[in-house]
Amino acid sequence: MKIALVYRSTTGRTEAMAKAIEEGILAAGGAVNVSSIEDVNVEDVFASDILVLGSSADGAESIDETNFVPFMEENKEKFSGKKVFLFGSYGWGGGEYANTWKDQILEFGGEMIEEPITCLEDPEEAILEQLREAGKKIAAL
């Protein structure tokens, strides 16, 4: 299985989460192509079987409005049949943006691997371990 991990991080929180997922994938013997949303190669991402997407919350509980929102809208037909896992961090609110994002993926025809994993502010070790375990599960698909 080809796995693409694409994230957006402004404070380093979501990047730390992405690294934990990558560690889990690698520990389970998987391979993953990691990139920031700013440098993403859309063809490579959608040539993958599994998409792991992470964004910190922007504004009023939405994904990154500068890069991820256009990425999602411009490529919505490409999500059909793709297995997807979502993660991210938020600074206020309750992290509802991840559920809205999940609904968008499902609307586009994607299949959620499991529920999104989010955290308030910096990810604690328990969250990082949960993400490593998610990475191991992803590698085993």
Question: For residue 8, what are the contacts with CB-CB under 8 A and spacing of at least 6?
Answer: 14, 36, 37, 38, 54, 55, 56, 63, 64, 67, 68
Cα–Cα distance measured from residue 5 to residue 89, given in angstroms and rounded to the nearest whole number: 16
pLDDT of residue 60: 67
Residues of the chain with pLDDT under 70: 60
pLDDT per residue over 5-32, tens digit each? 999 998 999 999 999 999 999 999 999 9
Phi (first) and psi of residue 123, to 5 degrees: -70, 125
User: Where are the extended beta strands (E) located within the chain?
Assistant: 3-8, 33-36, 50-55, 83-90, 111-112, 117-120
- Contacts of 125-128 with C-beta under 8 Å, sequence gap 24+, read 127/17, 127/20, 128/16, 128/17, 128/20
